[in-house]
Amino acid sequence: PIRSPSSPVKTGCAPWIWRRYDLRSPDDLRWICEAAGELARGGRAVFPSAAAILRAEDKRETYDALRAAAVPTLACRPVAELAACGRQAVVKPRVGWGGMGILRVGDTRSFREPEGFVAEDHVCQEFVPHDRTWTVAATDEGEIAVLEKWRRPDDFRTDGDFNREVRRTAPFGDAVAI
Protein backbone atom coordinates (compact mmCIF):
# COMPACT_ATOMS: atom_id res chain seq x y z
CA PRO A 1 0.00 0.00 0.00
CA ILE A 2 2.95 2.40 0.42
CA ARG A 3 5.23 2.69 -2.60
CA SER A 4 7.98 5.20 -1.89
CA PRO A 5 9.00 7.99 0.46
CA SER A 6 7.77 10.55 -2.09
CA SER A 7 4.27 9.09 -2.37
CA PRO A 8 1.52 9.60 0.21
CA VAL A 9 0.16 6.75 2.34
CA LYS A 10 -2.57 4.97 0.41
CA THR A 11 -5.91 4.36 2.07
CA GLY A 12 -8.03 1.22 1.79
CA CYS A 13 -5.34 -1.02 3.27
CA ALA A 14 -5.82 -4.18 5.26
CA PRO A 15 -6.92 -3.72 8.91
CA TRP A 16 -3.39 -4.61 10.05
CA ILE A 17 -0.01 -3.93 8.54
CA TRP A 18 3.30 -5.68 9.13
CA ARG A 19 5.99 -3.20 8.12
CA ARG A 20 9.08 -4.58 6.47
CA TYR A 21 11.65 -1.99 5.62
CA ASP A 22 15.26 -1.41 4.63
CA LEU A 23 16.51 1.81 6.20
CA ARG A 24 19.75 3.37 5.08
CA SER A 25 19.39 7.03 6.01
CA PRO A 26 17.76 9.36 8.55
CA ASP A 27 15.26 10.34 5.81
CA ASP A 28 14.27 6.67 5.38
CA LEU A 29 13.76 6.35 9.14
CA ARG A 30 11.73 9.54 9.35
CA TRP A 31 9.52 8.42 6.45
CA ILE A 32 8.87 4.90 7.76
CA CYS A 33 8.03 6.23 11.26
CA GLU A 34 5.66 8.82 9.78
CA ALA A 35 4.01 6.17 7.58
CA ALA A 36 3.60 3.77 10.53
CA GLY A 37 2.16 6.58 12.67
CA GLU A 38 -0.27 7.66 9.94
CA LEU A 39 -1.46 4.08 9.43
CA ALA A 40 -1.98 3.66 13.19
CA ARG A 41 -3.89 6.95 13.41
CA GLY A 42 -6.04 5.65 10.55
CA GLY A 43 -7.12 2.69 12.67
CA ARG A 44 -4.66 0.09 11.35
CA ALA A 45 -2.76 -2.19 13.72
CA VAL A 46 0.85 -1.64 12.68
CA PHE A 47 3.72 -3.96 13.58
CA PRO A 48 6.26 -2.86 14.49
CA SER A 49 5.02 0.45 15.83
CA ALA A 50 6.62 3.76 14.88
CA ALA A 51 8.17 3.99 18.37
CA ALA A 52 9.61 0.47 18.11
CA ILE A 53 11.05 1.21 14.66
CA LEU A 54 12.72 4.36 15.97
CA ARG A 55 14.18 2.56 19.02
CA ALA A 56 15.47 -0.31 16.88
CA GLU A 57 16.85 1.63 13.92
CA ASP A 58 18.44 4.79 15.37
CA LYS A 59 21.60 3.76 17.21
CA ARG A 60 21.30 6.61 19.70
CA GLU A 61 17.68 5.70 20.45
CA THR A 62 18.70 2.02 20.81
CA TYR A 63 21.46 2.97 23.22
CA ASP A 64 19.12 5.13 25.32
CA ALA A 65 16.51 2.31 25.47
CA LEU A 66 19.13 -0.29 26.46
CA ARG A 67 20.50 1.97 29.20
CA ALA A 68 16.98 2.70 30.49
CA ALA A 69 16.41 -1.07 30.69
CA ALA A 70 19.73 -1.52 32.59
CA VAL A 71 21.22 -3.58 29.75
CA PRO A 72 25.00 -3.26 29.84
CA THR A 73 26.30 -1.72 26.63
CA LEU A 74 29.20 0.39 25.42
CA ALA A 75 28.77 4.14 25.73
CA CYS A 76 27.35 5.70 22.57
CA ARG A 77 28.38 9.32 22.16
CA PRO A 78 27.99 12.22 19.77
CA VAL A 79 30.95 12.50 17.39
CA ALA A 80 31.95 15.73 19.16
CA GLU A 81 32.91 13.50 22.14
CA LEU A 82 35.08 11.12 20.07
CA ALA A 83 38.12 11.58 22.33
CA ALA A 84 36.10 10.15 25.25
CA CYS A 85 35.98 6.80 23.38
CA GLY A 86 39.68 6.23 24.03
CA ARG A 87 42.39 5.95 21.41
CA GLN A 88 40.56 3.62 18.99
CA ALA A 89 36.91 4.04 18.10
CA VAL A 90 34.25 3.47 15.50
CA VAL A 91 32.10 6.21 14.04
CA LYS A 92 28.74 4.84 12.93
CA PRO A 93 25.80 6.28 11.02
CA ARG A 94 22.85 6.56 13.42
CA VAL A 95 20.75 4.76 10.79
CA GLY A 96 22.15 1.87 8.79
CA TRP A 97 23.06 -1.78 9.11
CA GLY A 98 25.65 -4.40 8.28
CA GLY A 99 28.65 -2.15 8.79
CA MET A 100 27.69 0.23 5.97
CA GLY A 101 29.24 3.65 6.52
CA ILE A 102 31.15 2.70 9.67
CA LEU A 103 34.56 4.35 10.01
CA ARG A 104 37.22 2.71 12.13
CA VAL A 105 39.33 5.37 13.82
CA GLY A 106 42.84 4.21 14.76
CA ASP A 107 43.67 7.39 16.67
CA THR A 108 40.79 9.56 17.86
CA ARG A 109 43.10 12.54 18.28
CA SER A 110 43.77 12.69 14.53
CA PHE A 111 40.27 11.97 13.19
CA ARG A 112 39.23 14.18 10.28
CA GLU A 113 35.64 14.16 9.11
CA PRO A 114 35.35 12.95 5.51
CA GLU A 115 33.85 15.26 2.88
CA GLY A 116 30.07 15.46 3.19
CA PHE A 117 30.12 14.04 6.73
CA VAL A 118 27.21 15.19 8.93
CA ALA A 119 28.22 14.75 12.57
CA GLU A 120 24.61 14.82 13.87
CA ASP A 121 23.83 11.75 11.73
CA HIS A 122 26.60 9.72 13.42
CA VAL A 123 27.58 8.38 16.83
CA CYS A 124 30.87 7.02 18.12
CA GLN A 125 31.87 4.16 20.39
CA GLU A 126 35.05 2.61 21.69
CA PHE A 127 36.42 0.01 19.26
CA VAL A 128 36.41 -3.44 20.85
CA PRO A 129 37.98 -6.25 18.79
CA HIS A 130 35.71 -9.31 18.83
CA ASP A 131 35.11 -12.36 16.70
CA ARG A 132 31.37 -12.77 17.14
CA THR A 133 28.18 -10.92 17.82
CA TRP A 134 24.86 -12.17 19.14
CA THR A 135 21.62 -10.87 17.73
CA VAL A 136 18.85 -11.42 20.26
CA ALA A 137 15.16 -11.29 19.36
CA ALA A 138 12.55 -11.40 22.13
CA THR A 139 8.85 -10.87 22.68
CA ASP A 140 6.79 -9.66 25.63
CA GLU A 141 5.78 -13.30 26.18
CA GLY A 142 9.38 -14.33 26.80
CA GLU A 143 10.08 -16.04 23.47
CA ILE A 144 13.70 -15.55 22.61
CA ALA A 145 16.07 -16.46 19.80
CA VAL A 146 19.80 -15.83 19.78
CA LEU A 147 21.74 -15.81 16.51
CA GLU A 148 25.51 -16.05 16.69
CA LYS A 149 27.50 -14.33 13.93
CA TRP A 150 31.25 -14.71 13.44
CA ARG A 151 33.86 -12.40 11.92
CA ARG A 152 37.56 -11.60 12.00
CA PRO A 153 38.50 -10.09 15.41
CA ASP A 154 39.80 -6.86 13.86
CA ASP A 155 36.65 -6.26 11.80
CA PHE A 156 33.91 -3.87 12.86
CA ARG A 157 31.01 -5.11 10.76
CA THR A 158 28.20 -6.90 12.58
CA ASP A 159 26.56 -8.79 9.74
CA GLY A 160 29.49 -10.59 8.14
CA ASP A 161 29.90 -14.29 8.77
CA PHE A 162 33.06 -14.70 6.66
CA ASN A 163 32.43 -18.30 5.57
CA ARG A 164 31.17 -19.41 8.95
CA GLU A 165 27.60 -20.39 9.53
CA VAL A 166 25.28 -18.05 11.39
CA ARG A 167 23.73 -20.32 13.97
CA ARG A 168 20.95 -20.18 16.51
CA THR A 169 22.15 -20.67 20.06
CA ALA A 170 20.43 -21.11 23.39
CA PRO A 171 19.81 -17.97 25.49
CA PHE A 172 22.67 -17.29 27.87
CA GLY A 173 23.07 -15.52 31.19
CA ASP A 174 20.16 -13.23 32.04
CA ALA A 175 19.19 -12.71 28.39
CA VAL A 176 15.54 -13.66 28.95
CA ALA A 177 15.21 -11.39 32.01
CA ILE A 178 16.95 -8.50 30.27
What is the rounded CA–CA span in Å between residue 60 and residue 27? Answer: 16
Q: Is 13 helix (H, G, I), strand (E, B) or coil?
A: coil
Residues linked to residue 91 through DSSP beta bridges, in sequence order: 103, 124
Q: In angstroms, what CA-CA distances link 48 with 21, 28, 38, 107?
A: 10, 15, 13, 39
User: CB-based contacts of 115: which residues, under 8 Å, 6+ apart?
Assistant: none
Tell me: the pLDDT tens digits for 37-55?
Answer: 888 888 888 878 888 888 8
pLDDT at 8: 54
Distance of CA 126 to the CA centre of its chain: 17
Contact call for residues 177 and 144 (beta carbons, < 8 A): no
Q: Is the pLDDT of residue 164 over 60?
A: no
Each residue of 78-107: pLDDT tens digit? 999 999 999 999 999 999 877 778 898 999
Asked if pLDDT for residue 35 goes beyond 80, the answer is yes
